[in-house]
Structures are given as structure tokens and as C-alpha cells.
Chains A and B, each alone.
Chain A
Amino acid sequence: MASITNDEAAHLLRRMGFGGSPAEIDDLVTRGREGAVDYLLNYQLINNSQMDDLLARSFDFSNPLANDGKFNQGEIRRWWFTRMITTRRQFEEKITLFWHNHFATSLSKVNDFYMFPQNLKLRQFALVRFDTLLTEVSKDPAMLIWLDNITNVRGRPNENFAREIQELFSLGITDVVTDQPNYTEQDVKEIARAFTGWTFRLNRADPFNSTFFENPNNHDNGAKTIYGETLNFDGEDVIDRICRRVATGRYLVKKLFSFFVYPLTSSAADKATADKFANVYMSSNHSIKDLVRAIFTSDEFFSARAQLGLIKTPVEYVVGPIRMLGANYNPGLPNQRRDGSLAASTRAMGMDVFAPPDVAGWDLNLGWVNTAAALTRFNFANGLASNRPGNDPVGPWLTNDQLRAFTKSSSKKTVKKFLSVLGPLHPGNSVIKNLRNYLESDDQGNKVEWSVTDATIDKKIRGLVHQIMCLPEFGLN
């Protein structure tokens, strides 16, 4: 069993989750590479009852159609952030976030009482056979509404879903390895016909379980020619044909890499990487779990190129440091003291969960980099660092005792400890020197000896946390 270093374990946890405390990272180190991946991947084995209890106290989604304020767009966002911050099953949240971005569906068009069960469905089928996930998502009301399949009927096909299921959800326009087109416009038209009649019925008594059905009056039973094969295809046949193509495996690898590893380029080496992992997809009967396990245990994943080789998404920027520092967070109750501040923060940074900008999802990495979002990130950092315990603090907060646990007797060791907790980050000696100077400067800018007191922790250690979160290195993941 391959061993892993502390930095590698932290890297793994930042990618399969959002990051964790030094103790959590130590625990992963003891498990070794495969052991750590399997621990995070087989999350159903991890006891999550604390989070379940917290969710039960903090939310009331028992009557989603009632207009009582207990179920709405803000509440499902608060629900998801509460999960991401408090779950012990970090990969469950991260892979759900990946699929939310992959099958990007938005509250801008779809009601909350359809978006929420879609999220549950993404969790339920996150790691099964890709064919099954694609089928479940395609039959789910949120997608049927989002890409207009409910108006895709015999004689008047709507091609929206037929196009996107190929372009964005499975094959890609061109093959990741060969650059050859994966389908024709005629395939789009014929696939639209195959999905005619796919619709659903709202279950008013239980809107999270609305019923999919294929309306026989609206389904086109004629022969369709798809990828050169002529049959009376229906939607499930199309999904089967799509999923058995290696192009789907390659495209999924590309999407998984750009979210979890590093962006794949069109270089020969990267095409070989895409092909290698696509073969795992093909040889494992399209198992998502086998594919992601192969990726997370790979040398590519632990390469220097991968470590800190992505830019933190806003969700990672917000949730990550809360988990790394062990900050306190009180989500509030179904109808009072609700903390919606985290969703508001990521929205201001360009990532409104449950509302990606369009069906292609968020533009990752440099897509997050602009001046307006940068200021929002820095100010979130200041809020987290300077938010203190109070009666009802809005947003997560840190106590001086929590900060004292990482504070050392020398300024150099203190800086290095916090760089380690929040990364580990290795920004070089000039930055360490700048941060030490910060700890050792009084209000007039004169040097003073570093000493650990309640006063210096409350002032300078909080300032140090803010400063580290403003480092470009912290912006990386």
C-alpha cells in the first residue's frame, strides 16, 4: 500500500471534500493512499448521525408547497451549506456538487420543489453506473422542465434536451482524444424524437416524489436512425447507446479532471490520460465509483501539477477554511435565526448554488477570477477571521481558544502553523517574512516582540488568518 505525506493527504481531502482539521489529515496519512481514498469514497460507512440530527433540528421541509417560509430557495441553499460544513461524509457533498455542475439545472427556471429532489437524486445515484445516473436525471422533473422535454412531443419535437444530453452530459461535441465529431445534427433531431412524450405528473401530496411517465399520445413510435442504427428507439435506448461509447468515458474523464485534478489540455500526453481513464469506464461496465477511485488513487492525482493546480471554487473558498480551522457555525432553526450568509457570499463570488448560470454549469478556474469577486473573497476572509462569539453571530465564527491552539511561541512557527492548517501552503520565505512582520508590528508600524496573549490572539492572529486567506496561494486548491 502506497503511503502518503501530510501534504498529499491534505490535497486529497481538499479535492474529495473541502479540507479538514490537522487531526483529520493525520488520520488519512495513517490510512495510506488507497486506504484514504477508500475511506472517503465509501462514505456510507461513516457515521453521520450528528449532521442528521442537526438537519432535523434546523430544517422543516415537511410541507414544501405551503407558503410558510420553511421551504424555499433560501432554505435549500442553507440546507446544502449546512451539510457541506458539518458532514463527515465529505465526498458525498463534493461529488453531488460535481454532478450539480455537470447536469447544471437552475432555480432561474425550475421551482425549488423540483430542484431539491433533483439534488437528492444526484446523491442517491452519484456513484452507480453512469447509465443509471443519466437515466434518473433525464426522467427527473427538474431536467424535464429545464431542457423543455415536457414540451417535446410527437410531430413538434423540441431538440433542447437531445442536444445537451450529448454535448454537455455525455459525449461532447467532439471526441476528447480524436477530435472527431461525436454526432450529427440529424442525430440531434432523431434523438429528440426518441425522447418525445417523456414528462411527469406533479404529486401534490408529496411533490418530492412526482411521477415520471412516457405519455403514449405524445411519443413518436416511428423508426429513428441514430448513430447509424435504425430502430424504434425510445429515450432509454438512446441513453444506452450514448453510454456504451468510449467518447462518453473520455468526456467524463475530462470533466472529472477539470473539477478534481487539473484541467486537461489537448496535448498528446493529456489525451493519453483521458484515454487511459476512459478505459476504466469501459472495462468497469460504466461504474462511476470505479472511475473516480482510479482517478483519486492515480499518480496523476498526486502529481505536482495537480497539487494546488486548480483555483478554489467559491464554495471551496467558503467551506474550506471553516472546516480547516474548525470554525463554529450555527445554521439556525426552520423559522428563526437562519444563517443564509454563506450562500450569499458564494453568490457574490459568482457561484449561486442551485442556480448555475446556464446548462453548461460554472466556468471553473479563471472563470472565478475577477476584481469584483476578489474583493468579495477577501471580505469573506475578514468576516470569518474577525467574527467573534456573540449572541447570534451571522456567519461562522472563531473563538480565541480555537486560535490559541494553533498559536506558537515564536512568530515564525506561528506563521508556519497557520499556513499549514490552511493548506498546507508554501508561499516562500518572502511571504513568511511579510507575515512575521505583520505579527510583530504595532499600530505605528514599529517592531515589537511577539508574545502570545489574549490581546495578541484577538488582534494579530485573527489578522493573520485574514492575511493568509488573501494570499494567492490560498486561492488555489
Chain B
Amino acid sequence: MPTTRRQFIKRGASAVSLSLLLPRFLTTEALGQEAAAAGDRKILVVIQLGGGVDGLNTLIPFTDSRYLSLRPNLAFRDTDVGATMLDSTFALHPAMTAIKGLYDAGKVAIVRGVGYQNSSLSHFLGTDIWMTANTNGGAGNGWLGRYADQVLYGKSGLQAAALGGQLPKAFFADKMVVPSISNFATYTFQTDPRFNGDRNNQLNTFNADNNRGLPTDTFLGALASTGSDAVAGAAEVQAAIATYQTAPGVTYPAGTPPNQLAPFLKMAAQLITTIPDANLLWVSLGGFDNHSDQIGDDEDRDNKLIGDHSRLLGWFSEAVKAFYDDLAGHGLADRTLMMTFSEFGRRPNENASFGTDHGTSNCLFVMGDPVRGGMLGEQPSLAVSELDSAGNMKPKVDFRSVYAEVLDKWLGVSSRTILGADYPSLGFLP
């Protein structure tokens, strides 16, 4: 297949059958579908860590002499990681104490050496490849879009959403249209904030104009019915999330500068806890492209405990913990699986700017009550003979193995139908 073949992103090929955001009262009866009971729910939250996370300074091989020599300035030693040591050879970054706590409770599986052969070092292509699970150019629909077409399409209510940013390619699909919601405040039919008293008039006029019984098989009717559904669907989401309360004792981290992941995981919690069908959520945290000043300095002395990478991992760790606790308080922690990924890892050899360049193999995290905790996969060797010509690690685990296990064992769909081939199971799910 050529790399940029048409992908058939039919954003609502038939507006008439486009029911994903239809208000439930309009469709539940018609489609004869019941919201899944909480006990049957299988919630997946994907956390994209954008920019290429430095896996070697996330899951740290602190005794590896090659690691220490390749990173004279950036390496963490045993004396740095006393609080986050996982075993005698690996530790989490010291900023990740919250995730360390979850790990100790058996709720975190860390897959080592994840990647694919001939890894792209381009952010865009690398991201597309992870989003589509197509290592040959990253073309085509998203892996979760293909899942959504197969399983979620045609169901009523909000099934899936991307929160905080643009719609990721992972959700591109033939039939299913997954909304991207940048924030709930604007996810509504907005009217002039200067005249809130006029809002009801505006809504009434809109509804009258867009519910004229126009024939739905015309462009005009499709625009009217879809527009009307959009406004009603957004109102339904607003009504649902208005009932949300953060679980007692849980506070989402703010901080200065503010935690950039926590607000989006909180949005995910708002949807998950108030809309019984909202089971597939996507959030992202960017900024991991730490070519320079990956570590900070404190009064002109290098300090690995501050700086960009440390701050980002701290945000990630604390936001995940708050989200986990919130869902636990709502009785949904055992129904929720979290999974991270990044488009690539970073180069073992640090560069001259206290940073790292684009790499290949990486670690990723699968988290939540459903997982079998521990470290899986295989850490690639840093021996000179084991690195590729650019000095990057050779991946040991195909990332599609991770997807396959999530699809087969958690989402309950045959991964072969989504990924086009079989991939060995890693065992992070029972």
C-alpha cells in the first residue's frame, strides 16, 4: 500500500444514521439498547505522552554501567532513587512517587522495550504509526477507530471522546465519529455571554428552525437534523456532568505551573462517572521532546529533580493517582484500564545540551485494578553492539502486542480483526 492512500475518513457518511451523539431519550427505545450495568463496563483511558518520552529516565536502569556512562549529566544513580526503587536494578523517576505507590499495590504493569522494527524518528510519522498500528507509513484509520466502527457504532449516547485537544488519529474511522471536547465550558450551544437573559430565546429559535421536518435525505435535512442532535447531545453531556462530584478526599493536583494532565483526566472522570456508556476516553500530555535542558539547574548547579522532564513526569504521576482515587471512590476503579504511549523513546547517549535526541524503544504503563502488576517485556541492552547505527536501542516488544492484549482481554474483541495479524500476549491482564 502506498503510504498516503485514501483513508476513507467518513465523518458521518450518513447523517441520518449518525447516532453516536443522539440524545439517549431519542434512541434508546428505538434501538432497544440498555446502558451497560457498571459491573459489565470495560473502560479504557489512553494517555498519550507526546513528544517522545525519555523511557530510560522514566524506568531507570540505575545499576547499568552503560547507562551511567552514556549519561554523565542526566543519569540517576542509586542514591537518587531510593524512594522509587522497584527492585535491585530498576527504579521509577524520583518524581513518580504516586505511581510508585500504585505499583506497590500491584496496580501498575510496566512494559519494557516497546517499539517496532525500523522505528521512525519523526514525531509526525511516529505518532501516526502508533495511532494507526500501521508500521508501513502510518496511513489508514486509527486502531481505536476501527474498534469503534466494529463495536460502538450505532449505539446511543456518548461512547467515546478525546479530551483536551484535537481528535487523535487513533479515533479516525470509517463510520464512527468520536467528538473531541476541548473543555466542557465551551462544549455547548454558546450564546452571547453579554445577554444571558436572551439565551432561552436563542435556543427556542434554534430548535424551531432546525426541527421543521425537512426531508433527511437532502443536504438541507441532514444539516438540520445533525445540528439539532448536536445541540441536544451537548446539552445531555452538560446535564450529566453537572451531577458529578469528585470522590470524597480526592483533590486533582493544580500546582504552579498548573498540572497539564489533571484537568483532562478529571474531565474523563466526569464523563465516566455520569454517563454509563462513556467507556473510551483519550487524554494527552505533551512537552516530552526534551532535546535540551531536560534537567534543571538550581543556583547554577545541575539538579535532576527539577527541569522539564521531572515536572512532566510529576504531573503525569500525580494526575493518574488522583484519577485512580476518584474512580475508586465512585466504585469504578476495577472497571477502568489506563494505558500510556509515546511516539518513540529517546537516545541513550545524552547530547551536549543536557537533553536527549529522538530514539526508539521505550517503556509504557498499563494501570488500574484490572492489571497484573509488575515489569514485563525485556529491557534492551545498551551494549555498543546492541545499539543500532544511530545509537538507539533495539525494541524487544512490538507495540501491537500491547494493543492486542487490551483488545482481546479487556475490550473483548478479536484483535486480529483490528490489527490484521496476531501478536503474542504479554500477560499484563489476567
Contact A363 B2 (CB under 8 A): no
Chain A residue nearest in CB terms to B219: A311
Q: A378-B227, A431-B209, A463-B202 are in contact. Are A373 and B11 (CB under 8 A)?
A: yes
Which residues of chain A are near B167, meaning CB under 8 Å?
372
Name the interface residues of B163-205: CB closer than 8 Å to any CB of A: 166-167, 172, 177-180, 186-195, 197-198, 200-202, 204-205
**Which one of B179, B191, B223 lies within 8 Å of A476 (CB-CB)?**
B223
Chain B residue nearest in CB terms to A164: B2
**Which one of B5, B15, B200 lies within 8 Å of A369 (CB-CB)?**
B15
Q: Does B12 contact A (CB under 8 A)?
A: yes
Q: A357-B9, A358-B4, A370-B12 are in contact. Are A382 and B209 (CB under 8 A)?
A: no
Residues 306-332 of A, flagged 1 when their CB comes within 8 A of B and 0 if not, give 000111000000000000000000000
How near does chain A come to B138, taking the closest CB pair, in angstroms? 9
Residues 441-477 of A, flagged 1 when their CB comes within 8 A of B and 0 if not, give 1010100000000000011101100110011110110
Which residues of chain A are near B289, meaning CB under 8 Å?
none
Q: Does B52 contact A (CB under 8 A)?
A: no
Name the interface residues of A76-112: CB closer than 8 Å to any CB of B: 106, 108-109
Contact B220 A470 (CB under 8 A): no
How near does chain A come to B255, taking the closest CB pair, in angstroms? 27
What CA separation (Å) do A14 and B18 show in the bound complex?
A: 29
What CA separation (Å) do A98 and B205 show in the bound complex?
A: 35
Number of A positions contacting B (CB below 8 A)? 63
Contact B202 A438 (CB under 8 A): yes
Q: Does A27 contact B (CB under 8 A)?
A: no
**Which one of A310, A350, A375, A471 lies within 8 Å of B231 (CB-CB)?**
A375
Which residues of chain B are near A309, meaning CB under 8 Å?
219
Contact B180 A372 (CB under 8 A): yes
Contact A379 B186 (CB under 8 A): yes
Residues 337-367 of A, flagged 1 when their CB comes within 8 A of B and 0 if not, give 0000000000110100000011110010111
Residues 392-412 of A, flagged 1 when their CB comes within 8 A of B and 0 if not, give 000000000000000000000
Which residues of chain B are near A348, meaning CB under 8 Å?
166, 180
Q: Does A336 contact B (CB under 8 A)?
A: no
Contact B192 A160 (CB under 8 A): no
Contact A358 B7 (CB under 8 A): yes
Q: Does B301 contact A (CB under 8 A)?
A: no
How near does chain A come to B311, taking the closest CB pair, in angstroms? 23
How near does chain B come to A361, taking the closest CB pair, in angstroms? 9
Q: A164-B2, A378-B190 are in contact. Are A371 and B230 (CB under 8 A)?
A: yes
Contact B223 A475 (CB under 8 A): yes
Q: Does B283 contact A (CB under 8 A)?
A: no
How near does chain A come to B85, taking the closest CB pair, in angstroms? 40
Q: Does B38 contact A (CB under 8 A)?
A: no
Q: Does B325 contact A (CB under 8 A)?
A: no
**Which one of B139, B206, B230 lies within 8 Å of A467 (CB-CB)?**
B206
What CA separation (Å) do A382 and B194 show in the bound complex?
A: 12
What CA separation (Å) do A373 and B11 show in the bound complex?
A: 9
Which residues of chain A are near B179, meaning CB under 8 Å?
371-372
Q: A164-B2, A375-B187 are in contact. Are A472 and B195 (CB under 8 A)?
A: no
Which residues of chain B are near A366, meaning CB under 8 Å?
12-15, 219, 222
Q: Does A230 contact B (CB under 8 A)?
A: no
**Which one of A311, A375, A434 lies within 8 Å of B230 (CB-CB)?**
A375
Q: A370-B177, A382-B190 are in contact. Are A463 and B195 (CB under 8 A)?
A: yes
What CA separation (Å) do A301 and B193 show in the bound complex?
A: 42
Q: Does B214 contact A (CB under 8 A)?
A: yes
**Which one of B10, B206, B233 lies within 8 Å of A367 (CB-CB)?**
B10
Which residues of chain B are near A373, meaning CB under 8 Å?
11
Chain B residue nearest in CB terms to A467: B205
**Which one of B2, B5, B204, B223 lies within 8 Å of A472 (CB-CB)?**
B223
Contact B10 A472 (CB under 8 A): no
Contact B219 A365 (CB under 8 A): yes
Which residues of chain B are near A38, meaning CB under 8 Å?
none
Name the interface residues of B48-103: CB closer than 8 Å to any CB of A: none
Which residues of chain A are near B128, meaning CB under 8 Å?
108
**Which one of A374, A383, A460 lies within 8 Å of B227 (CB-CB)?**
A374
What CA separation (Å) do A109 and B194 show in the bound complex?
A: 43
Contact A371 B20 (CB under 8 A): yes
Q: Does A44 contact B (CB under 8 A)?
A: no
Contact A459 B205 (CB under 8 A): no
Contact A472 B198 (CB under 8 A): no
How near does chain A come to B132, taking the closest CB pair, in angstroms? 11
Which residues of chain B are near A108, meaning CB under 8 Å?
124, 128
Which residues of chain A are near B202, meaning CB under 8 Å?
438, 463, 466-467
Q: Does B21 contact A (CB under 8 A)?
A: yes
How near does chain B come to A114, taking the closest CB pair, in angstroms? 14
Which residues of chain A are near B308, meaning CB under 8 Å?
none
Q: A146-B4, A459-B195 are in contact. List 6 more A-B contacts (CB 8 A).
A: A163-B2, A311-B223, A357-B7, A369-B18, A463-B202, A471-B210
On B, residues with C-beta under 8 Å from A are 2-7, 9-15, 18, 20-21, 124-125, 128, 139, 166-167, 172, 177-180, 186-195, 197-198, 200-202, 204-206, 208-210, 212, 214, 219-224, 226-227, 229-231, 233-234
On A, residues with C-beta under 8 Å from B are 106, 108-109, 146-148, 159-160, 163-164, 168, 309-311, 347-348, 350, 357-360, 363, 365-375, 377-379, 382-383, 385-386, 427, 430-431, 434-435, 437-438, 441, 443, 445, 458-460, 462-463, 466-467, 470-473, 475-476
14 interchain pairs, CB-CB under 8 A: A109-B4, A311-B223, A350-B11, A360-B6, A360-B7, A369-B18, A370-B177, A370-B226, A372-B177, A375-B187, A443-B200, A463-B198, A463-B202, A472-B210
Q: Shortest 9 CB-CB distances between A and B: which pairs? A: A443-B197, A370-B12, A160-B2, A360-B6, A472-B223, A371-B230, A372-B179, A374-B230, A386-B192
